[in-house]
Chain A
Amino acid sequence: MVTTSTTYGSAGPAVGPRSFVAKLRNGDEIARLVTFIFAMTVVLITVLLVYELWVNSALPRHKFGLNFFTTSVWDPIMDEFGALPFIYGTIVTSAVALFIAVPLGIGAAIFLAELAPQRISDTLQFFIDLLAAVPSVIYGVLGVFIVVPLMRTVIYPLINKPLGFLPIFKGPSYGVGFLTAGIVLAIMVIPYIISVSREVLLSVPRDQREAALALGATRWESTWKVVVPFAKTGIMGSIFLALARALGETMAVTMVVGNTPKIAASLFAPGYSIAAVIANEFTEATGPLYTQSLIALGLVLFILTFIINGLARILILVTTQKGSGVTR
């Protein structure tokens, strides 16, 4: 962004063959200036957002310091606030969601892009786009009325009986909890993964497939060993898009997660997420420390997203460099 601004400043009449006035008249400079301003608003909004979150969370920062991240008591009456259970819940529900959605989504995308007849692929894509546009509260309702009873009566006995000795599957199930929220989130983010991954797979050049087939590869070998690695960066992108949505999802999560600020190893236990507690408590938050602690949670969510995005970029860099020999 900064370099853009300096080149703009130096792009005077002396640089090109055309004078500044001529550029202005032909619209080049105007277009450049206008689009530059538009691009800068994105930066401005991000900076303002962080600034507001930072300034309005001064009280808990001074009172709790780093303890805010490590304590797990959330007591508005005694003015004690700790973010740990919410951070834990946000990460666990998102991780469960990705664990389910990534194989399903990428598998479906490979089928649609590589194996399915064109007509079926296009028809299914229409439904997938439709799913991506469904508001999250609808998924929440779906969760409450279908996933929650299913969890209690079918999924829980199915998993708990053989695997109940594992800490992550121990304890009773109320229907709501980390696993339920993760499943609902998975259903929500699968369309994103399919849609973007399919698009990326389709954009792999035809030569690549033909070259693989010419070398004697089977259809599947060409897909799995050539096309998918070629599209790896794009597929990763779709996963991180899905993760971003899962981390920040509010409505659907709060309806099925149980809204209990506790850290439990069991996926059947009820929990809470950052976005859900802000939505639940912000309107009735009385007292400055309470309100500001909720804003501080917003900042934590922002930082969490930032860290995960950073890790994602590093991951993409590493994998594409040592990867299959196919780099962009």
Chain B
Amino acid sequence: MPQSVQERNLMKRLTGLLFAALALAAMVWAADSLLINGAGATFPNPIYTKWFSEYHNKNPKIEFNYQSVGSGAGIKQVTDGTVDFGATDGPMNDEQLKAYQDKHGFGILHFPTVLGAVVPTYNLPGVTAVLNFTPDALAGIYLGKITKWNDPAIAAANKGVNLPANDIVVIHRSDGSGTTYCFTDYLSKVSAEWNSKVKKGTSVNWPAGLGGKGNEGVTGLIKQTPNSIGYVELIYAAQNNIPYGAVKNASGAFVKADLKGVSEAAAGVAKDMPADFRVSITNAPGKGAYPISTFTWLLIPQKISDSAKRDSIKGFLKWMLADGQNYTEQLEYAKLPKEVVAKESKAINTVQ
């Protein structure tokens, strides 16, 4: 292409200008923007994404990057020090806390952020009523001891419902998940046999049943299989209009899960909240408390050497406890009780 000298000079100057502008932009961005990396639980990912984007809008210089890779991976990454904070659906156990302490020379703190719940869902052709489940019935079904739908343990709590004499098809999560942690945590509290045989965890050695991958996998299997029972997150059931049953709580009432019942379960435990916030709220006391509820936590190192990062994380935590809580209910998460918020506000100051 024939070009005049003038044209070429102009092109050169324009290119130069472009590069200068890019370099300037990069410098400004690098100097002003602070990127904070986190990784962990998938269950609170929708609310965390919302929070981080809202917080970024209010504080354009601070940007959070959250990867929802799973609670186990979150704990591992924050322990390895590859991310600034972690997130988990089940609290770190003493062994994990010790591993963190040994590696870094200081501890890690748990900050509850929101609450979730797990609900029993089922596919029983011909039964339209909301079924009631006692703790014994749920534990018996998942232990593989209650095998028929018309078993007395189920029928006694569902008077007037015509339960079929069919075999129960038990469905659980196949992937490791906080949902399973919460569900097995509940079962190990209400059933001594479960507690000795299976115990609690993100994945367990299931005595009975089929596995589905994710909430959608479990729901898919239940829809495809008559006479089946499974468990999914309350949020997932609510958003997808999946019918679910009521569960008998510690004070003897059958409660169908909703945000109020979940918050009440947290409030029942809030008074005796341990200082490190590692508390299970399954089978919580309180008349309206929904028994299969859980906190989900952010994992924040006790010492953060980068002062800018430390201030940003502490600022975010304070905002999350105040304004942030207002975003929870539109996304179907239950709010933290006031007592817990007050306790956490104090705990934020211990991050150094």
Contacts and interface: CB of A to CB of B under 8 A. Distances in A.
Given A148-B224, A176-B221, A270-B210, A76 B205 contact: yes
B166 to A, nearest CB: 11
A283 B70 contact: yes
A34 interface: no
Nearest to A75: B205
Nearest to B209: A260
Contact of A283 (B96, B176, B210): B176
Interface in B189-231: 198-206, 209-213, 217, 220-221, 224-225
B220 A144 contact: yes
Contacts of B211: 258-260, 270, 272, 280
A283 B206 CA distance: 19
A130 interface: no
A78 interface: yes
B131 to A, nearest CB: 21
A28 interface: no
Contact of B176 (A144, A272, A285): A285
Given A75-B205, A144-B224, A280-B211, A254 B174 contact: yes
A286 interface: yes
A56 to B, nearest CB: 13
Contacts of A172: 167
Interface string B69-91: 11111011000000000000000
Contacts of B202: 76, 284, 286
A102 to B, nearest CB: 29
Contacts of A174: 169, 210, 225
In this complex, the interface size class of chain B, counting residues with CB under 8 Å from chain A, is 20 to 34
Interface string B148-187: 0000000000000000000101000011110000000000
B224 A149 contact: yes
Interface residues of A, number: 33
Nearest to A254: B213
A284 B72 contact: yes
The SS class assigned to the A binding surface is loop
Nearest to B198: A77
A255 B177 contact: no
B59 to A, nearest CB: 30
Contacts of A291: 76
Interface string A53-84: 00000000000000000000111111010000
A220 B206 CA distance: 55
A281 interface: yes
Nearest to B93: A286
A258 B206 CA distance: 13
Contacts of B76: 286, 291
A172 B167 CA distance: 10
Nearest to B169: A174
Interface in A242-287: 254-255, 258-260, 270, 272, 276, 279-281, 283-287
A283 B72 contact: yes
Nearest to B176: A284
Contacts of A76: 176, 201-205
Interface string B301-320: 00000000000000000000
Q: Which of A77, A255, A284, A285 has the most CB of B within 10 A?
A: A284
A89 interface: no
A175 interface: yes
Nearest to B203: A76
A70 to B, nearest CB: 17
A80 B201 CA distance: 14
A284 B213 contact: no
A284 B71 contact: yes
A152 B221 CA distance: 12
B175 A280 contact: yes
A260 B70 contact: no
Contacts of A260: 206, 209-211
B180 to A, nearest CB: 8
Q: Which of A145, A286, A291 has the most CB of B within 10 A?
A: A286
Contacts of B199: 77-78
B210 A284 contact: no
A286 B174 contact: no
A260 B170 CA distance: 11
A124 B116 CA distance: 51
A175 B225 contact: yes
A74 B205 contact: yes
A78 B205 contact: yes
A145 B223 CA distance: 10
A74 B224 CA distance: 27
A172 B220 CA distance: 19
Contact of A281 (B71, B203, B212): B203
A281 B201 contact: no
A283 B213 contact: no
A281 B210 contact: no
A24 to B, nearest CB: 34
Nearest to B92: A286
A73 B205 contact: yes
B175 A283 contact: yes
A144 B171 CA distance: 15
Contacts of B212: 259
Contact of A77 (B75, B201, B217): B201
30 contacts: A76-B176, A76-B205, A77-B199, A77-B204, A78-B199, A80-B205, A144-B220, A144-B224, A148-B224, A149-B224, A174-B169, A175-B224, A176-B221, A254-B174, A255-B217, A258-B210, A259-B174, A259-B212, A260-B209, A260-B210, A260-B211, A272-B211, A279-B175, A280-B211, A280-B213, A281-B176, A283-B176, A284-B202, A286-B75, A286-B201
Interface of B: 69-73, 75-76, 95-96, 167, 169, 174-177, 198-206, 209-213, 217, 220-221, 224-225
Given A77-B204, A148-B224, A259-B212, 9 more contacts: A77-B199, A144-B220, A144-B224, A145-B224, A259-B210, A259-B211, A280-B175, A280-B176, A286-B202
